[in-house]
Amino acid sequence: MDKKVALITGASRGIGNTISIGLAQKGYQTILLARSKEQMEFVASEIGFIKNALKPEIHQIDVLDFQTVQELILNIELNHGTIDILVNNAGIYIDGSVKHKTEDYQHLLNVNLVAPYNILNAVVPIMKKQKCGYIFNIASRAGKIGLPNSGSYCSSKFGLVGLNESLYKDLADYNVKVTAICPSWVNTNMAFKAGATVPGEEMIQTKDIMETINLLLKLSPHASVKEIVIDVKSRIA
């Protein structure tokens, strides 16, 4: 099939919203996964204004519904014949290092690490079989540098960055690229809920994440980038 397919989780808002629209602009058949159908429909309406864009496919789903997610991915391959891009973007934040109940920490790990693993578990065999593809794991600068009062979140993102690095090496011989994108504060609602003290206009913008993906997609087949850390300029030390 000539049509290229991009699967985006957490597609209803923030970074996922912008990436969904950006990939639609590049001609991809976008497949949007999120819990909010209403917000995904808003993203779909935005894509509808893009000239020649393919109508997005939306799926209201909780990434913690592991079996349903895997069944959905298998159906995507069956219906479309390919998954060319995966953007593992869904995630949550809780503050503190060891202040929460264990079950709250387990929920954080389930969303930020186990759910991406579950999706990769279904998508990687598809990309290995087709011998092409690109996986973008939206991690965080907090997956590279431990931050005060954020140990719980940092540990979940450190885990994702570690998984990313192994897959980067595992899939190289299959012509599948894997990159972790690790931004500092991004101008999203989640950043402010996490206690960001940087004004929104001084943060990384969601369009910066999409421009990073654009750059990576333009690289030659033999150029591979394991991870990219994006800092807020005013916080570089």
Q: In whole angstroms, give the CA distance from residue 154 to residue 95.
A: 10
Q: In whole angstroms, give the CA distance from residue 196 to residue 192.
A: 5
What DSSP string describes 179-210?
Answer: EEEEESSBSSHHHHHTT--S-GGGSBPHHHHH
153 flagged as catalytic: yes
For every residue of 113-162, which 3-state class applies, written as one string?
Answer: HHHHHHHHHHHHHHHHHHCCEEEEEECCHHHCCCCCCCHHHHHHHHHHHH
Q: Which of 134, 153, 168, 174 is catalytic?
A: 153
Active-site annotation, residues? 153
